[in-house]
Amino acid sequence: MDPLIRVEGLKKLFPVRKGLHSMIFSRKAEYVHAVDGVSFTISKGEIFGLAGESGCGKTTTGRLLLRLVEPTEGSVYFEGEDIFSLSGRELMRKRREMQMIFQDPYKSLDPKKTVKDIINEPLSIHKIGKNRREKLEIIYEMLEAVKLTPPEDYLFKYPHELSGGERQRVAIARAIILKPKFIVADEPVSMLDVSIRASILDLMIELKDKFNLTYLYITHDLSVASYLCNKLAIMYLGKLVELGATLDLVKDPLHPYTKMLISAVPVPDPTYKREEIRIRGEVGNPINPPPGCRFHPRCPFATDKCREIEPDFNEVKDGHFVACHLFQS
Amino acid sequence: MSLLEVNNLKTYFYTLRGVVRAVDGISFHIDEGMAFGLAGESGCGKSTTALSIMGLIKDPGKIVDGEIVFEGEDLLKKTKEELNQIRWKKISMIFQGAMNAFNPVHRVGDQIVEAILYHENISREEAWEKAEKLLEMVGIDPSRAKNYPHEFSGGMKQRAMIAMALSCNPKLVIADEPTTALDVIVQKQVLDLMKELQKKLKLSIMLISHDLSVIAQMCDSVAIMYAGKIVEYADAISLFKEPQHPYSKGLINSFPNILNPGKKPESIPGQPPSLINPPPGCRFHPRCPFATDKCREVEPHLVNIGNKHFVACHLIGG
């Protein structure tokens, strides 16, 4: 399949804000290594899952892909075009093709705007629709696509009059109204009640087929990712540690961190006895990440090599990449 | 004998918009050394139940009916002073969002000492030693007692919170969504710790969560709550293996399972109802695919369908 997004050596370091005293007496600038050399491709029509613990850099990666933050290094190619080289009008045109769905529909919708105004905003920014009537027709179509029917019941409602699930549907309608090709969805169901999460996931799958979308799905919930995504990448302290087809990765994880992560996911079955993996320590500090493999202080298999040399991200099986010295010849 | 028995508890909130029947006649019991799970979606009354047991319901809330029997005595008949003796010494609580439950301007150790000194007649030095021992028990280096909360990671704060809850050797610990804000690996560590301490100290635990998989891994018995009422109540294995109530089935099926990634999670249509004007009859009927006229009119009661498996549904057990 054609790649839609190609990410190469992407890096983002955030400077650490310091107090006055250390600004005067110490010259050494410190950086949070949020994303530290990440490369992958997303094919057309894929749901690409990016999973990891909080602070691993998954959200920053998602924002970089849409150029919502500028990178420190590296490139992102969208249909072969480097999005960081674009400017002005060209960037504006590209932005139509990539949109975002945010985590919290209680914060991502302007409380002072009606549903109609919220969904209309992208249209007026990109000057789509000749007149009011034509715009309204597009808005109707979108509300119907996200199953807020009949649309006239929702047009003049404010976000506080909607339930969490309905708000997220409005946010999705706003994201797809420009008919984008690529959508970054950052934990879109984690704030919703469990009984309605599945309906939002179903909607996302339906819209993907209907509008030929490609998703980057950012999540910490591996159960949801294992159901939804075709491909899954696991991130730890700013780096990808493993990438592969979801089923491969979930059933047969290679990297010790992936194994640990999967073994920690609770399962809704009181009789299930799993292979016990003892979990050591806590996530390292992204300001001074450990040398060598970043996971080595917590890894039960760490050798001297792991403490010194950073492992490459190698393809060990068909389409299954892992960054671990245990799997490198 | 049960350590805690809740009978027909009703806690209402008298707001300007009407009476919110947050908890509307629920009954359950917790045996000594057992873990009981109370599961349900947000707004179903889980936390209100916990606060009612702790005697922490404040205006405009009021416990209007029922009994909360702890070690044979009804807590609702106790005076404020008597309740103060029970709270934290016999029943303690780990709050939701415990990450923010510590006071940021006091050292962690001092906050645990404060809880101990309030209930026990010992010197400050003895209390500090005890706080250090408690931290050690939950896997935190005792020297960290001198740290402030912001110097702890999220998982450590949660552990310290558990240490504080155990500071006066309670018999029952109520944990309200103890791991909701934590990452999955830290969640596992905290749950493992709670299980280990439960065995070691013969604690009873009441675990409140919206996450059925957490409850499945921790609890011996489980009640599923919907709109202020318990709809199903059984031991964990029968509830997860043979759920009877359409809502319990729906809730269990709405969770994706990492062991079975191909399985499609099912959603429950509609929204939980308003607790000011709950639907008549069975409160779940507007969302239930099997609802009949009877469900719309007559309220079902919990019926034992065998083996202490209770279900409140007209379709089951006649």
Q: Which CATH number do you get for residue A197? A: 3.40.50.300
The reply to whether B87 falls in a domain is no
Contact check, Cβ <8 Å, B184/A265: yes
Residue A137 belongs to some domain of the structure = no
* pLDDT of the residue at B233: 96
DSSP A202-238: HHHHHHHHHHT-EEEEEES-HHHHHHH-SEEEEEETT
pLDDT recorded at residue A25 = 73
Nearest CA in chain B to A285: B153
Q: Is residue A90 part of a domain?
A: yes
Structural domain includes residue B143? yes
At which of B135, B169, B203 does a domain end?
A: B169
- The mean predicted confidence, pLDDT, of chain B is 92
Q: How far apart are CA A184 and CA B15, in angstroms?
A: 41
Of A250, A247, A271, A260, the closest CA to residue A302 belongs to A260
Model pLDDT, residue A278: 74
In a shared domain, residues B13 and B131? no
Which residue among B153, B169, B185 closes a domain? B169
Task: Please tell me the distance in Å from B124's CA to the nearest CA on chain A.
Answer: 32
Phi first, then psi, for residue B250 (nearest 5°) are -60, -45
Q: Kindly state whether residues B268 and B297 are assigned to the same domain.
A: yes
Across the range A256-263, mean pLDDT stands at: 93
| Contact residues on chain B for A198, CB-CB shorter than 8 A | 254, 256, 264-267
The predicted pLDDT at position A30 comes to: 84
Mean pLDDT of A137-148: 95
Residue of B nearest to A162 (CA): B271
Query: How many structural domains compose chain B?
Result: 2
A252 touches chain B (CB under 8 A): no
Report whether pLDDT(A272) > 90.
no
3-state SS assignment for residue B7 = strand
Q: Based on the fold, state whether residues B181 and B153 are members of the same structural domain.
A: no
**Predicted TM-score of the model (pTM):** 0.89
For residue B306, tell me if it sits in a domain: yes
Establish if A138 belongs to a structural domain.
Answer: no
pLDDT at B317: 67
Question: Is pLDDT at A328 greater than 80 in this prediction?
Answer: no
Interface of B to A at Cβ within 8 Å reads 41-42, 153, 155-156, 183-189, 191, 210-214, 216-217, 219, 236-237, 240-241, 250-252, 254-259, 261-269, 271-272
Q: Which of B183, B217, B269 sits opposite A220 (nearest CB)?
A: B183
Report the distance separating Cα B310 and Cα B318, nearest Å: 13
B266: chain A residues, CB-CB within 8 Å: 198
Per-residue pLDDT averaged across A40-61, rounded? 94
What's the pLDDT at A1?
A: 64
Q: Please give the residue of chain A at the shortest CA–CA distance from B211.
A: A194
Whether A223 and B263 lie within 8 Å, measured CB to CB: no
Q: Among A6, A82, A1, A51, which Cα is nearest to A229's?
A: A51
pLDDT of res. A76: 96
In this prediction, what percent of chain A has a pLDDT beyond 90? 74
Q: pLDDT value at position A277?
A: 75
Stretch 205-244 of chain A: residues touching chain B, C-beta under 8 Å = 220-224, 226-228
In a shared domain, residues B154 and B234: no
pLDDT value at position B71? 94
**Whether residue A291 has pLDDT greater than 60:** yes
Domain ranges, residue A61: 5-97+178-327
Q: Is A266 close to B217, i.e. CB distance below 8 A?
A: yes
The enclosing H or E element of B228 equals none
Q: Is the dihedral of CA B187, B193, B196, B197 positive or negative?
A: negative
Identify whether B63 is part of a domain. Answer: yes
- A328: tokens are 């490198």
Cβ contacts (< 8 Å) between B240 and chain A: which residues?
Answer: 268-271
Q: How far apart (Å, rounded) are the C-alpha atoms in residues A101 and A183? A: 7
Same domain? For B177 and B65 the reply is yes
Is B300 in the same domain as B192?
Answer: yes
Q: Which of A262, A271, A282 sits opposite B155 (nearest CB)?
A: A282
Q: Rounded to an integer, what distance in angstroms lies between the CA atom of residue B70 and that of residue B6? A: 9
Decide if A82 is inside a domain: yes
- Reported ipTM: 0.84
Please answer whether residues A8 and A77 qualify as being in contact, where contact means their C-beta atoms are separated by less than 8 angstroms. yes
Query: Would you call B107 helix, strand, or coil by DSSP?
Result: coil
Cis peptide before A188 (omega within 30 of 0): no
- pLDDT for residue A237 is more than 70: yes
Same domain? For B157 and B197 the reply is no
Task: Confirm whether B95 is domain-assigned.
Answer: no
Residue of B nearest to A284 (CA): B153
Q: Is residue B71 within 8 Å of residue B241, measured between CB atoms?
A: no
Rounded to whole angstroms, how far apart are CA atoms B232 and B245? Answer: 7
Which amino acid is located at A152 in the chain?
Answer: E
The separation between CA B73 and the C-alpha centre of its own chain, rounded to angstroms, equals: 21
Q: What is the largest CA-CA distance in chain B?
A: 67
For residues B106 and B224, membership in a common domain is answered with no
Q: Is residue A31 part of a domain?
A: yes
Q: Are residues B186 and B290 in the same domain?
A: yes
CA–CA distance, B57 with B73 (Å, rounded to integer): 19
Please give, rounded to a whole number of angstroms, the shortest distance from the CA of B212 to a CA of chain A: 6
Token pair for residue B117?
């000194």
- Please give the Cα distance from A145 to A151 (Å, whole number): 10
pLDDT at residue B274, as a whole number: 86
The owner of tokens 């399985």 is: B263
Query: At B205, which CATH number?
Result: 3.40.50.300
Q: In chain A, how many domains are there? A: 1
pLDDT for position B262:
79
Would A142 be classed as within a structural domain? no
Per-residue pLDDT of A189-218, as tens digits, reads 988 888 888 999 999 999 999 999 999 999
CA nearest B278: which of B54, B10, B66?
B10
Same structural domain, B154 and B227:
no
When pLDDT is cut at 50, 70 and 90, the band that residue A27 belongs to is: low
Domain holding B283, by residue range, is: 4-78+171-311
- Minimal-distance CA residue of chain B relative to A259: B185
One-letter amino acid at A245 equals A
Specify the pLDDT at position A69: 93
A264 and B241 within 8 Å at the Cβ level: the answer is: no
In a domain, A150, yes or no: no
Measure Cα distances from B61 to A34, A132, B53, B64, B157 in Å. Answer: 45, 49, 13, 9, 30
Instruction: Verify that B251 and B122 share a domain, yes or no.
Output: no
B19 three-class SS: strand
In a domain, B83, yes or no: no
Residue ranges of chain B with pLDDT lower than 70? 98, 317-318
